[in-house]
Structure formats: structure tokens, C-alpha cells
Structure 1
Amino acid sequence: MRILILLAALLLSPSLFAQITVHIKPNNQSYLSYEPIHAQVSITNQSGRPLTLRNTGNDSWIEFVVKNQSGRVVGQITPAAYAGTTIPTGETIRSSFLLNNHYDLALPGNYSVYAVARTPDQNGRQGTRSNQGYFTVNRGVPSWKAKVGVPGVAGDEREYRLIDFNNGNSPQLYIQVEDVKFSRMLACYSMGRNLSFRQALKSIDRENNLHVLFMTTPELYCYTVINTAGETVKRLYHKTAGSTKPYLHTHDDGSIVVANSILYDPEKEAEEQKKFHKLSEVPGGFEQ
């Protein structure tokens, strides 16, 4: 009888109902050290009513447990506080969370992560756990690097690094910008898909901005300009003009342009394509 009463109490406990399901998936399989590591979390509301997930007291409605390749939990470097959300009945929401904000993931190695989501009636020792997601952090080997000063700031120095890296989806060309004086990474991100059989062209202008031109498809070249803060200040796409390839040209005043190319305009390209007749539109009796 006592066992039946205990089972009944457990069954009636609202925190034990399968109110939500949680799934996590890192955006990529592999990352470079200091690259933003995003995890996509999907939460499905199975409670039979609209459900609001929110922080209560000192308990966050969602938290992450990250482990290194030794199975040790990676401690938080800053407390996490995420805005709440409301999930309509029977629906699924998907949100992206940046793990680097709260966990030091710069060391190379294999990592795992899972999420724990809590409904308002659950405390910090309860919650619904997701599956485990896996990702790898790599240091990467620069194919090119250069140090420059910061205009207007005496003694400050930056190092630009280009790294060819496959993040598990496709080969990418990455940029890293480090504050040399304070040994601090300012930026690390992919500039785009890179066909590395043609070496990327790079040049530094009079403001010490880095200009990079690389082949992203057999027909398109990506032209990107990065400043000393690690920000992308320009990104344009160019097509080959004639039989020679685009290149970076430096003017006498120190400015840099892409030469021997046609600026790619996708809208204009689409309009040009409409001018050509499809094979199905060829009049009957005419053979090609």
C-alpha cells in the first residue's frame, strides 16, 4: 500500500511530466581556437498548454554542461543569464547559444555539451536533459601572417593571420586578429568558402587594413577588407574579366582595388539570364 501511495505521488508530481523535449546540435563539427562556437537548441512543448520558460530566483531556465576530452566539466568563466521564452502548445522553438561567452573553449581538443532546460515548477536540481553534442577545437596553422601598427595609437600592434581550415562542412578561409601588446585575440571567423588550389592574395593599405582576395567558386572571387579591430568593413564578389584572373592593385596613394574583374551583382546576373531562351522555348522544327 505504501509503495502504491509513493508511486501515485510521483505520478502526480508536475515536475515529472514529460512537458518538454530538448535537442542540441553544435553548428559545426570542428572549430578554430577563439572562433565563436554556437549550439542550436530545439525545445518542443508537450505540456498541452502554452509554456513560458523563465529564470526563477538563482536558477536559470536553461544551462549547459560542457566536458573536455578527459570527461572533466569545463567551468564557467562568467555567469550565464538567458532571456526567457514562450512556446505555444505543441510547437518547437529553435535558438542559438554562444558557448564561448561563458566557457573557456580556446584549448584544442574534443568536447561534448548537453543542455538542461527547466519549466517554472522545476528547481536547479531538476530539468529535462538534451542529447549530447560533440565538437572539436583545433589550433590551426597560419598560411600567412603579418604585424601592423594601429593608426593613431602609439605602441599598439596587431597580427593578422590567414588560416585554411575545414570546419566539417567545407574548406574555409579564416582570419584571426590578435592584439600583440596584450596577447588577446580580437577576432577569429571564417571569411567564406575557399578553393585553396589558388592561393589567396593579400595586401595592407595605408590605414593598415588587410585586403584579401580569394576564390570562393570556380567563377567568383571574394574580396574582403578587415580593419585592425578585426571587423569586416567590406565584402564584395568579383568575376573574372577576360582570360586573366583578378588581382589586388595598390595605387601610389596606398589605396587598394581589385583589378581585372567585373563586380558581381546577383540581381543584374538574374536579369541577364532571363534574356536567354530555354531549349523548351525554341520554335518547333528548329534543331540545334
Structure 2
Amino acid sequence: MNLKHGWWGLLAAVACRMLVPGASAQIEMAWSLAHNRTVLMEPVRATVKISNYSGRDMDLTPRGNARLRFDVEDQPTSTVPTTGQPLVRRGVIIPNGDTREVEVDLLDAYRILKGQSYMLTPVLEFGGMRFMGRRLSLEVQPGLELARRDYGMPASGEARTVTLRQIHRGRTDQLFFRIDNSSTGFCLGVYELGRVIRYFVPRIELDRNGVFHVLHQTAPDRFLHSTFGYDGAPLGMTFYSAETASLRLVRDESGDVQVTGGTPFVEDPDAPGMLTAPALPPSHPYQVNIGELPLKGRPSPPRTAPSRKRTADEAVVW
């Protein structure tokens, strides 16, 4: 009897192990990072793709039957604390048999406050089970500081520190605008300005209306003028075409800031939303002649091509 019960116990254990993969297959989860390398305090955006084959609807709202979170490890077996803010900002319901993509910002929900490497793992809790996605690494860098300006008195509570930082990402150098409230020590925002080449030193200016102006070079003959509010909100951007030595970010006596020495890109009237480069002068506004120029008042003699004779056609004289 004991032997018989032992065999039944072994078969039951094997059956349980065979059922676990089937339960896990009810939920499929894949995810990716927008960037696996970010500058410090830049939003850490991720997209989680969830397929629901559980037989019932999945509700990811704050009071729903499912919860999505991340394990953010700053060291082995050590996770960073949360900020108290929800990871999923808007309600997401995934009906049975459907697939949804959930976009999240890990910086809002987790204290990713140091420049170092992190390991990230998504965890979905649903139906009394936990489903885990693959583990990915995130590299957070402080960035190379290219420019820095301080404005206001710290005692006023409205002082600002703005910096331009650079990291290498996607095989190019990327420039970022960071604004901090130096009175409180809080970062108000970090924004990507795009590609930067360092033939031109980036400039920062503040106008009389409290708007920050940033000018940097994105290509040999292309520049980008970006503007941000005093609270860090992006206001707009304009591309310019110019030579490096001619472009300037000028603050006049009245406190207004403008770009001089360049020509702005304009919107294509035939393709709304598309920018076109300024019209350039012709490459050769005059006729190019090779050789000596003809004298004034005297036409050039016509040029005749020398006749080519074969050696066999020439007369031989002895």
C-alpha cells in the first residue's frame, strides 16, 4: 500500500508541474524600453504588450482585478522604492482574447535618482498568479555638461538652474535641456533636443518674459532654436539654416532674445506639417570657363578637334 500511494503521489506531482506552463500561457507579456540609455531625470518610457487568454476580462484600473508593476533593481536583490504615484495613469481594460499595449513612465512611479545601471522586470498580478516578463537593463547617465546658467536668488524660492547635457545614444550625440528649481532642489523637467554636433557651442539665454532660449547645431548647416517656459514647459522650436560663424543668439537692451544671422525653415504650403529649407542662391551665378578668358571685344577663335589618322593610312617615303 505504501508503494502504491508513493506512485500516486509522484504522478500527482508530475501532473501539477505539467499544468503550470498551461496556466502561464493564459497570459502573454512582452515589453520594451523606448531607450535603454537615458540621461538622469529623463522620463523612462516603456511599452508593455499584454495578451489575455485567461477566459475573463482584465481590468488594470486602480480598483480593477489586475495590477501591473516593475521590479527596479539598483543592486542584486535590492529594489528601489516607489514614489507613491500610480504606474498606469489611465484605465486599461483587456477583454478576453484581446491584446493591448500599455505605455508607462517608470520615473513617475519609481525613485530612479542615481546615475547607474538598473535591472527592470515587469510583474503582472492577475487571478491570484504573478506573470513576469523578461529582464532588461537600463543605463542612467548624468551626461556631459556643455552649458550651465543660474537665474534668480535661491532665497526667493523661484531660482532656476538650467543645463545642457549630452549623452551618446543611437550612434549619435544627443543634447538634453534640464531645468531645476535651485531653491527647492527639485528637477522640473528634462527634455531631449535631438542630435548635436559640437562645432558650435550651445547657447542659453533668458528673455524679459521668463522664457529660456536654447540654440544648438544639429548638422553642418542646420541649427535648432528651442524655447521653454520658466516652469520648464516646452514652448516651441524653429530650425535655421546658416553658417557656424554667422549665427547668434542675441539679447537686446529691452530684454528680448532673437536669432540673428540665419534663415528659418518654413512650412511647405503643399505639404502641411513638413518643413522646407530656405531657398539658396545658385551654386554658379556666372558661366564657368576653363582656360583663359577671351579678350573683350574680340571673339574667341573656334576650336577644331585635331584629325586622327591611323598609322596604316599614312604614306611611307623611302
Q: State the TM-score bracket (shorter-chain normalisation).
A: 0.7 to 0.9
User: Which residue in the other structure is 1:267 paired with?
Assistant: 268
Residue number in structure 2 paired with 1:284: none
CA distance in 2, matches of 1:9, 1:53: 28
Residue of structure 1 equivalent to 2:142: 139
CA distance in 2: counterparts of 1:79 and 1:230, whole angstroms: 21
Alignment of 1:85-234 (within 5 A): 85-86=93-94, 89=97, 92-119=99-126, 122-123=127-128, 126-149=129-152, 154-168=156-170, 170-234=172-236
TM-score computed with the length of structure 2 as normaliser: 0.71
| SS of 1:142 mapped into structure 2 | strand
- Aligned residue for 2:268, secondary structure, equals helix
State the match for 1:74 in structure 2. Answer: 80
Tell me which residue corresponds to 1:238.
Answer: 240
Q: Any idea what SS the aligned residue of 1:213 has? A: strand
Measure, in 2, the Cα distance between the counterparts of 1:172 and 1:243.
19
Q: 1:35 to 1:56 in 2, by over 3 A?
A: closer
The one of 30, 34, 45 aligned to 2:41: 34
Q: In the aligned structure 2, how far is the partner of 1:27 from the partner of 1:227?
A: 26
RMSD: 3.2
Say if 1:61 and 1:84, in contact at 8 Å, map to a contact too. no
**What is the Cα deviation at residue 97 of structure 1?**
1.0
Match of 2:114, SS state, is coil
Distance 1:65 1:245, change over 3 A: same
Structure 2 counterpart SS, 1:113: strand
Structure 2, unmatched stretches of 5+, are 1-7, 278-318
- Report if aligned partners of 2:221, 2:244 keep a CA contact under 8 Å in 1: no
Cα deviation 1:10-69 (Å, max 9, x = unaligned)? 766898251122122222122222111112212234x28684343586974211111014
Equivalent-residue separation in structure 1 for 2:227 and 2:63 (angstroms): 46
Shift of 1:262: 2.1
Mean Cα deviation higher: 62-71 or 127-136: 62-71
Aligned length: 264
Q: Which region of structure 1 is more displaced relative to structure 2, 58-67 or 140-149?
A: 58-67
- Larger relative contact order (CA 8 Å, sep ≥ 6): 1
Distance 2:15 2:195 in 1: 57
Match of residue 287 from structure 2: none
1:57–1:186 CA distance, 2 compared to 1 (3 A): closer
Counterpart position of 1:283:
none
Question: TM-score, structure 1 length as denominator?
Answer: 0.78
Post-superposition Cα deviations, 1:214-246, rounded to whole Å, max 9, x if no partner, equal 112334211111222111122111222x89643
